[in-house]
Structure 1
Amino acid sequence: MRFKPLLIPMAVAGFAGLAAQSALAGPSGYPVVQPTPPVWGAGTFAVRVGAAYVDPGDHAIRNVTSSFADDPSSDQVEEVPLDLTTHLDLDDDTSWFVSATYVFMDHWAVELHYADDVSFSGSLYSKASAPSLSYEGEFTQDLGDFDTNYTKLFLDWYFLDTTCLWQPYVGLGVVYTDISEDFIRPVYNTNNRWGAGKIGFGSDLSWAAQVGVDVVLGRESNWIVNASAMYLDSSPEFFIGYDVRTDLPEFGEPVISSVRIRDSGLDLDAWSFNLGIGYKFNF
């Protein structure tokens, strides 16, 4: 049997095996550890949905209107100082949100976040006081819900390595606030007399900041869990007008006073706490 024709292919195979072993070995001959693939690197795109708890600032509007009252039943002109205090308070609400994040380079991403139909329950508190007559009267009235929509755009910085399953971040951006207009329901004073009023809102574009974390549910998984806290600096234009009927002592008839607050910023400096689940893709 002739072995010489087999020596050349056997030698080639042997050299190929040695070359492959050398390629997998480090300088000392040990196997090279392959790098961990990134889970949140450049080209990652993620969408999320979840719940948003939004808590606006206390006393969204505070105003004192000073005027002079005159007894309607008397021909004599009187100038009794009368102060009308107005507080508008908004309660918190929980709604839903949807967001999208694109990591355009390692550690940096842009995020669009939208919270829909955040219904703040509003209440009006008003007090009439005439120090010269030692008079004080007040009333409160529920105004219904103010449907508010928030659209936010952030630049986010992820500060851990792109291979970490936990990806905390901070973000800075802008927020656009839009509130649906509504009418005030009848406003009652302490003597159960009433007058109608109107309330109007504008929109606002201001700044926002956030901290959050995206948790990837495994290296082979595309599912994520997200939690974030946002501060929304928002002061949309605001108008309120209503009449107050006040029974002042020593006056023969009640005094009708008008409260008109125009071009005032509604202080909605709100905190939003969000919890959601999402899915990521890689391009």
Structure 2
Amino acid sequence: MRTKHLLLPLAIAAASATSPAFADFTGGDFIVRAGAAFMDTEDSVFSESAIVDVLDPDDPDSTISVEVGDSLDLDDDTTWFINGTFFVADHWAVELYYMDGADLEADYDTYVIGPDFETRSSNRLGDFETNVTSLYVDWYPVCVESWIQPYIGVGVNYTDIDQDYLRPVFVEDVVNSNGVVTERIDRGLVNFGSSWGWTAQVGVDIEFGRNANWLVNASAMYINADPEIEVGVDNVVLSNGIVVDSVRYKDDLDYDSWIFNLGVGYKFSF
């Protein structure tokens, strides 16, 4: 009889040692998530205008003042994300997030306004392929046993724009005497830097049932970013004969964005 009393607790201990451990959102637990990310930037991330003096086409010995302006508008896009979260203590975690290659279509608009004329043009620059990497400190306020876990987080982000998918600001067609385009000349450039900024988020993890390791995740992130833009435009001859001289300038883009994520995750502990 004594042997039977010993075998029962030993069998229970062996069974619990070989069964998978359920992670509760406590210190030492991990979560890995992946899914879809929707990036929505400010509609107009850059605009600038200036008053410049140009030669008067009707009187080469005098000048006239014209207003020259430009703006850069971006679309939105859906891409994918992956992140990892480690709970350093109950209710507190650090999260590393990466969003890959949101292709934001870019339109570059320019205008010149004079005393008795107005000229406007719009050029499609291509895609601003944007990558975002963020590091958060997250707080989970509800009890660790809950299968619905809302959280908030703050941190830093690194925003980078890939320039491989951009076209020149202006392209001029060279036409021969027969009216055939023989070549295309780049008449402008656009370059970017990267940016460090702050970020904040709200989100929720919902388990696929109580004590389940699989979960669904939804979150909304605000990204503060101001990468530097450099725009250069060679001499541009307007249809009325006015020549606008070469322009070179650098400024910061207003690249603040919202990122909305929806994905699945798996939580575990060692």
Please, what TM-score do these two structures have when normalized by structure 1? Answer: 0.78
RMSD (Å) for aligned C-alpha atoms: 2.4
Alpha-carbon shift at residue 227 of structure 1 (Å): 0.3
Q: Secondary structure of 2:237's partner? A: strand
5+ residue gaps, structure 2: 6-21, 173-183
Partner of 1:223: 214
Partner of 2:91: 107
Partner of 1:143: 125
Cα distance in 1 for residues equivalent to 2:227 and 2:46:
11
> Residue by residue, what CA displacement relative to the aligned partner does 1:223-261 show, whole Å, maximum 9, x if unpaired?
01110000000001111112433234xxxx341333322
Cα distance in 1 for residues equivalent to 2:49 and 2:90:
53
Contact 2:23-2:213 at 8 Å conserved across structures: no
1:125 has 2:104 as partner: no
Q: 1:275 aligns with which of 237, 240, 262?
A: 262
Alpha-carbon shift at residue 195 of structure 1 (Å): 6.0
Aligned ranges 1:38-53 → 2 under 5 Å: 39-53=24-38
Contact 1:111-1:153 at 8 Å conserved across structures: yes
Aligned residues: 239
Cα distance in 2 for residues equivalent to 1:117 and 1:62:
24
Alpha-carbon shift at residue 42 of structure 1 (Å): 1.4
Alpha-carbon shift at residue 83 of structure 1 (Å): 1.2
**Bigger strand fraction:** 2
Alpha-carbon shift at residue 43 of structure 1 (Å): 1.4
Alpha-carbon shift at residue 270 of structure 1 (Å): 0.1
Alpha-carbon shift at residue 38 of structure 1 (Å): 6.9
- Greater shift, 65-74 or 217-226, is seen at 65-74
Cα distance in 2 for residues equivalent to 1:198 and 1:175:
27
Larger Rg: 1
Aligned ranges 1:107-256 → 2 under 5 Å: 107-130=91-114, 133-182=115-164, 183-185=166-168, 187=170, 196-243=187-234, 244-248=236-240, 253-256=241-244
Structure 1 residues 73 and 129: alpha-carbon distance in aligned structure 2, compared to 1, 3 A threshold: closer
Partner of 2:253: 266
Tell me the amino acid that sits aligned with residue 258 of structure 1: S
User: What percent identity do the matched residue pairs reach?
Assistant: 41
- Greater shift, 62-71 or 144-153, is seen at 62-71
